[in-house]
A and B are shown apart, each in its own frame.
Chain A
């Protein structure tokens, strides 16, 4: 049995005390242990930002890449070795701003990765500029009169792009988040988890209290059917006094990208080894 302790790494996080990333980090480790996944089987691909430092503090294989590009790097890694459990950890600036285009394409490809967005609705590491998920009217040092832009709706975006697992968690709801990550780990195909991650230093609006008052769990609603894309779209628009968390949408059984490739039918690419020769007949093509 894998224990949470197996994921212990002797480096202390540099996050601010009270940062939402602690909750996400703990849930991440617990979910992996609960699913009996060993640290060496995991490759965490992250970008740049506070949340992207998660793998530095965890005993896993890690690939900390460029701002916004982690999904593209993860796609290459996943298609080359699908025996690894590939998990992404990156923030809203990284994932929804710089990485927005890659998100769309990862969704429609159904790349088999778990994609965790540490969404604090602010730029933390660059010290407090607005992010693509900052609400309209949100005041920061680069939106002195309040943000003019509508915020990105990651749930609706992923649904529109064809994602097969679209969910939202909250760093303050640890047990729920562990469950969510486990469900994402079990899902075959692209799994998005947008996680509300309070930034205690720069976001004084979207705090723990803000979310505690508002979030409710979709899966506790008797009527909610997460296989219904229309219902998921409707729920994705809900924002205000009540904010849903949980699995908005899941489509099971859709083949992942790599399952379409004959080359990867029996084993992952790197398990094939490199071809040792090319037959002379290939020259006929040029004759």
Chain B
């Protein structure tokens, strides 16, 4: 097995995000596995950004901190990341950055001054193409076949025309040759092509979008907000081909209200956003609950409150998502942890919303939303998501309807057969006021009790569709980590390392279905554990609180993180040691 982590770092505006994503794709075409982390500052130009790619000939569980190859487009990149470079690693930089070579050599790493800007210029390109030159150099240093990079360049620049394609290819090739001939022998880590693989490289937002598309999503409304926007952009890109109405709204209030209107008349509506936008949506979240409209909100978390670290990651909106809005109404909250789960949840959320005629919140975070990972092509089964429209009445049903149609008919399970407006046998009212079965405004206490009970009953009914948490690792272990969402990947790597050292040290309970909490299914999984530790990206251990609230199980130990950066396996292991030290000291 050979594996390597590379970082390409520089200023915002130097095209790191597209270069990084493009290189992930190139590596995938070369049969290698990838796992990336995107780290941006909140600005269009300037400020340190980086894109980390871990690549391997074997499947990758998680990104890890040690870096083998650092591509520095700015001197700041060296300052920030040099501490993570491994012995034998290398730092590639343009000589114009005037990096002190001794600092690199002190780390037993190899300084590789490469005239990236000159190479780009000589090949007929601009300074902006230094990133393309850098990727070419990476291929040259690691023996990775340049053809995969060139093919990605062709695909990515197709819209810009042959001239741009050819210049970029020339820049990449020239940098490749330069790096290979001058430094190829000194850098020992390779990324050699593997044959026969049929994998895809995909991030969380793309997987959610694809899942939603397969599940019939045909209406998406949004106000741009990192890191939710790329779901909107992806569905928008496919709108004409797949028959989607995609509407950018004037604000998030309008975006979610549009989804309520769309759902009301029968569209499958999805609204991607992040915490600030979700905050604006809260009143309409309650509206959807009251009107019993099926909408899906994708809440891609970032640090809060307010603007905070706008382009970074956190998991601090869990209890908010579960409790947001005045009053009580049923809602469903799910949070995938892997790319495959993002795909499944993207489809499942739309089905759950329509089945229970209520809002569903699909939670991710910036880390999962933007992290590119390879997965087997067959891991995404386009036939696996079956559209379930729940108790939706068809025109045929309505043709045969006898007597007055009651949109909010009292039923045992709380779900009322749902008509769409437009049929002459079912003219019906809906209102955000408390209402009777006909949707008329009614303030009577007995009706309020019955109607509110009917709505809340759906929460109980939905428990049938709520899955118990997943478990990872052997059943019996000294430590059981409890997590949700993006934390799973680095936590799994941490678990593997612990178990490699001493078998059966650790295992993981991963929650995807968070609300309503299926307590009866959760208890057998949670009980009889020797030691429970939650691992979450927030200050207050919100999953721990939720579990205590719903199951009565109080988890005393937590590994938390709220610096806006994703968990790494190293961070988890280091903080586990701290917990143990604290435990011994009483």
Contact = CB atoms under 8 A, between A and B. Distances in A.
Interface of A: 11, 38-41, 43, 45, 48, 53, 55-56, 59-66, 69, 72-81, 83-84, 101-102, 104-105, 261-264, 269-270, 272, 274-280, 282-283, 286-287
B326 to A, nearest CB: 12
A270 B267 contact: yes
Contacts of B200: 283, 286-287
B101 interface: no
Interface string B183-203: 000000000000000111110
21 contacts: A40-B424, A40-B426, A56-B441, A61-B421, A64-B429, A64-B430, A65-B260, A66-B432, A69-B254, A72-B261, A75-B254, A75-B257, A76-B219, A76-B264, A80-B267, A84-B421, A101-B254, A263-B243, A270-B267, A274-B216, A274-B218
B38 interface: no
A6 to B, nearest CB: 10
Nearest to A56: B441
Contacts of B380: 283
A7 B200 CA distance: 57
Contacts of B198: 287
B382 A105 contact: no
Contact of B221 (A45, A56, A59, A76): A76
B169 interface: no
Given A77-B261, A270-B265, A283-B200, A40 B431 contact: no
A62 B431 CA distance: 8
The 3 A-B residue pairs with the shortest CB-CB distance, nearest first, are A76-B261, A76-B258, A72-B257
Contacts of B377: 283, 287
A61 B429 contact: yes
Contacts, number: 187
A274 B212 CA distance: 12
B429 A62 contact: yes
Contacts of B257: 65-66, 69, 72-73, 75-76
B393 interface: no
Given A64-B432, A272-B243, A280 B262 contact: no
B427 A60 contact: yes
B284 interface: yes
Contacts of A270: 265-267, 420
Contacts of B202: 286
Contact of B284 (A66, A264, A282, A287): A66
Interface in B373-409: 377, 380, 382-383, 387, 389
A37 to B, nearest CB: 12
A287 B29 contact: yes
Given A101-B251, A102-B250, A83 B422 contact: yes
B266 A41 contact: no
Contacts of A276: 387
B268 interface: yes
Contacts of B122: none
B495 interface: no
Interface of B: 25, 28-29, 198-202, 206, 210, 213-214, 216, 218-219, 221, 239-240, 242-245, 247, 249-251, 253-255, 257-269, 283-284, 287, 291, 377, 380, 382-383, 387, 389, 420-424, 426-433, 439-441
A72 B430 contact: no
Contacts of B389: 274
Contact of A61 (B243, B283, B428): B428
Nearest to A75: B258
Contacts of A43: 265, 421-422
Given A61-B428, A276-B387, 16 more contacts: A56-B431, A61-B429, A63-B264, A64-B431, A66-B283, A72-B255, A72-B258, A75-B247, A76-B269, A80-B262, A81-B265, A84-B265, A104-B250, A105-B250, A275-B218, A283-B377
Which of B269, B426, B439 has the most chain A CB within a 10 Å cutoff? B439
A269 B216 contact: no
A34 B267 CA distance: 31
A262 B284 CA distance: 29
A77 B245 CA distance: 11
A166 to B, nearest CB: 20
Contact of A48 (B206, B429, B432): B432
B421 to A, nearest CB: 4
Contacts of A11: 440
Contacts of B433: 64
Given A76-B258, A275-B216, A39 B245 contact: no
Given A43-B421, A80-B219, A84-B421, A280 B245 contact: no
B422 A55 contact: no
Nearest to B426: A40
A286 B244 contact: no
A101 B255 CA distance: 13
B62 to A, nearest CB: 20
A77 B206 CA distance: 26
Contacts of B243: 263, 269, 272, 275
Contacts of A287: 25, 28-29, 198-201, 377
Contacts of B242: 275, 278
Given A43-B421, A84-B422, A61 B427 contact: yes
A269 to B, nearest CB: 5
Nearest to A277: B382
A38 to B, nearest CB: 7
B21 to A, nearest CB: 11
A184 to B, nearest CB: 20
Nearest to B387: A274
A278 B244 CA distance: 13
Given A38-B424, A287-B28, A263 B239 contact: yes
A141 to B, nearest CB: 25
A276 B213 CA distance: 10
Given A40-B423, A73-B260, A286 B206 contact: yes
A80 B261 contact: yes
A65 B262 contact: no
A195 to B, nearest CB: 22
Contacts of A274: 216, 218, 268, 387, 389
Contacts of B266: 80-81, 270
Contacts of A66: 257, 283-284, 287, 432
A280 B439 contact: no
A279 B383 CA distance: 10
Contacts of B426: 40
Contacts of A55: 429
Contacts of B427: 39-40, 59-61
A263 B240 contact: yes
Contacts of A56: 429, 431, 440-441
